[in-house]
Copies of this chain bind each other. A is one copy, B any other.
Amino acid sequence: MSDLLERLRGRGWRLTAQRRVVAEVLDGGGASHVHLTADEVHARAAARLPEISRATVYNTLGELVSLGEVIEVATDGRAKRYDPNAHRPHQHLVCSRCGAIRDVHPGGDPLADLPAAERFGFTVSEVEVTYRGLCPNCAGA
């Protein structure tokens, strides 16, 4: 994660304690890639830096998204979730009951599946694929 901070600093980011903590929280999931809501990020950040405000968390997440370091995922129309796994293209598997999210990496480029005739003049730059169903826990219950 320190390389992320260095990368951001190289792009003119001022390195504050708050931003550092938010970046660390997002990276905290490690390989499991938890997809936290802004509120969860705030709660975890506040555990280390109690005076951090919600606005700062929202600002920092927004900046990370616009810098392409984090992906915003809107799976349910409720709170957005933030996915730090931005550098490897992937898709999401979402449980319709409990909301659990898993990253999946099928091969192929879904963008190629949309013929020009179906683009209606749009300049398409990305695709978001979300598979919905029941996770093993919920399917068992």
Contacts and interface: CB of A to CB of B under 8 A. Distances in A.
Size category, A interface? 35 or more
Dominant SS at the A interface? mixed
Contact of A124 (B105, B119, B131): B131
A4 interface: no
Interface stretch (A8-16, A21-29, A41-49, A72-80): A72-80
Please state the number of chain copies in the assembly. 2
A51 interface: no
Contacts of A139: 121-123
B93 A110 contact: no
A124 B113 contact: no
Contact of A134 (B102, B122, B128, B130): B122
B132 A129 contact: no
Contact of A136 (B106, B110, B121, B135): B121
Interface of A: 72, 74-77, 79-80, 93, 95-96, 102, 104-106, 108, 110-111, 113-115, 118-136, 139
